[in-house]
A and B are shown apart, each in its own frame.
Chain A
Amino acid sequence: DQQVKQNSPSLSVQEGRISILNCDYTNSMFDYFLWYKKYPAEGPTFLISISSIKDKNEDGRFTVFLNKSAKHLSLHIVPSQPGDSAVYFCAASGSGNQFYFGTGTSLTVIP
């Protein structure tokens, strides 16, 4: 059973506009959430994280929002750039170091 879900397999956004990637989870014990970016034939690279004590974390053009009551997090990229085109995975973790990944959203930023 998928504990972390990304219901949008793909997203296209015009350069300069905002990209919003969504992620839902089912396990209320998750307390640490991350976004990874992955280019083809490469391993994922860490992008941004948020712990459950916060509802927002910002790092440059990337902001992650966490809504614990809805068990939902989102990644906002603004302004979007063509180099942001990649697959984005959200991941969640509870106690220990076991991470659960969503299925990914392929973002295409159109120049």
Chain B
Amino acid sequence: GAVVSQHPSRVICKSGTSVKIECRSLDFQATTMFWYRQFPKQSLMLMATSNEGSKATYEQGVEKDKFLINHASLTLSTLTVTSAHPEDSSFYICSSGLTNSPLHFGNGTRLTVT
């Protein structure tokens, strides 16, 4: 069964609104969660590393004010796309796992901004 649950699986929003994506670890404590974005025919691009109880670490080129990450508990991390624009339309995936073990991925969220 799934060990990382991501919600929602699909969301359509209007330009200028904000969207929150949740990622939960179901049977382990996730001190670290990773947020990826996947463009068509491209690799999973790491956006940020979410650390429980501290600030997220963002990859170069990722706007931290646009992609707000909160990791308030050991089982939940959220990614909020603020003031979404059509170019933010993409497939967002979270993952987590124990150190030195394979990552478990959520099923992803297809965001469409109209």
Contact with A along B72-114 (1 / 0, CB 8 A): 0000000000000000000101010101101111111010000
> B32 near A: Cβ within 8 Å?
yes
Which of A54-62, A68-76, A78-86, A101-109 is the interface stretch? Answer: A101-109
How many pairs of residues, A versus B, come closer than 8 Å at their CB atoms? Answer: 53
Rounded to whole angstroms, the CA-CA distance of A43 and B6 in the bound complex is 9
Task: Report whether B102 and A101 are in contact in the complex, using a CB–CB cutoff of 8 Å.
Answer: no
Interface size class of A (residues with CB under 8 A): 20 to 34
Interface size on B, residues (CB 8 A): 25
> B54 near A: Cβ within 8 Å?
no
> A34 near B: Cβ within 8 Å?
yes
Q: Give the 6 A-B CB pairs with smallest separation, nearest first.
A: A43-B105, A46-B102, A103-B43, A101-B44, A43-B107, A43-B108
Q: Interface on A for B, CB 8 Å cutoff?
A: 2, 4, 9, 32, 34, 36, 41-46, 49, 89, 91, 96-99, 101-104
